[in-house]
Amino acid sequence: MKKTMIAGLISKKNKYEIQTIDVPKMFEGSALVKVKACGICGTDTHNFFDSSNNKHSHVKPVGHELSGQIEELPKNYNGSLKIGDRVAVNMSAGKSCGNCYYCHFGYTRHCLRQSIDTGGGFAQYVTRNPLGLYRISDDMSWNDGALVEPLAIAVHGLRYSSFKSGMNIAIVGSGTIGLSTIVAAKFFGASKIIASAKYPHQADAAKKMGADIVVNTSVGELENACMDQTKGMGVDIAVETVGGMQNNTIVQASNCVKPVSNVLILGIFSKPILIDLMDPMLKEINYINTTSYAIINGISDFQLAIDILSSGNHPFSSIVSHKFTLKDIHIAFEKAYYKKNNSLKVHIEI
């Protein structure tokens, strides 16, 4: 086994650079996966460009949207996976014990006895236990495999909020998670999908993913479209996918739904925000927060995302607008962060 590998780390120069580090530690029960592709998440870019976290060099690589190939399995492993299998990696399940309350409940992200974090996918290798490894179909590319994680977030959010076939849905934002939500809503049988998009290339992608109506992000545009399409009642569910540091997208989502309905929050809010709850209370709106994926009623959100993508010709694959090698990771991060340059999803191929 190799003892060292290359990885993209934030240096003391406040820049992503390639460094040679130790191959991640093989903890008890772990498998070794050779990383093939890893997506740059919005959280990754904001943690680097917008946060004080980027003032210090990192000793471990990050990156949680990845696919790869199994090179080693635990000695006592007796499951269905084999060395050489192509897999999408559920990073949180790959640290879980498999035996605590939350693991039995299917919510491995909240495992009470997680293994140590040995590093993420902006590197040549990761170690995770087989619970977090999901075999992908032969029709799926490595880049498809790296799209499973963001799609699983949307799949889980809609399942968690009891989305049903025939519902009308509004989606605030058409970044990666917004586009994922359009795809998942289409898969689950949405009647009408109404989305907002900040940039023209995002609007084009939203239509390609299956949105029936796409509007710009001007105040009132999404709300008016929702009311027009539902004869003034409002949609059954609105999904906030933007996050950030202001409350306007949550307010907008709240204004799009009908009384006695749900607002699903998938965006990450990096600072506390103030919300006036009087109107939502009078409308009896439920706010549902979720940022991950689980196994619900015996069915894995991750596996459902693989099933959606496994046709081999799914439009979601086309959101990978830019691909870079690991040596160009800093350029890739800049491309992913500055959306005006027509980027949708940026992947690192390793």
Predicted pLDDT at 259: 98
Q: What is the pTM of this model?
A: 0.95
How much is the pLDDT for 51?
59
Q: Per-residue pLDDT for 12 more than 90?
A: no
Give burial (CB, 10 Å; 0-12/13-18/19+) of 339: middle
Mean pLDDT of all residues in 169-179:
98
CATH number belonging to domain 162-289: 3.40.50.720
Q: What band does 130 get if pLDDT is binned at 50, 70 and 90? A: very high
| Among the listed residues 280, 228, 290, 281, the one whose alpha carbon sits nearest the alpha carbon of residue 252 | 280
Range 47-76 average pLDDT:
82
At the top level of CATH, the class of 4-150+294-349 is: alpha beta
> What would the mean pLDDT of 163-177 be, rounded to a whole number?
98
The domain segmentation of the chain, as residue ranges, is: 4-150+294-349, 162-289
Average pLDDT of the residues of the chain: 94
Mean pLDDT of 318-342: 94
Is the pLDDT at 312 greater than 80? The verdict is: no
Confidence of residue 85 (pLDDT cuts 50, 70, 90): very high
- Sign of the Cα torsion 132, 133, 137, 143 reads positive
211 band by pLDDT with thresholds 50, 70 and 90: very high
Residue of 19, 17, 26, 21 lying closest to 4 (CA atoms): 21
* pLDDT exceeds cutoff 80 at 332: yes
Of 152 and 338, the one with more pLDDT: 152
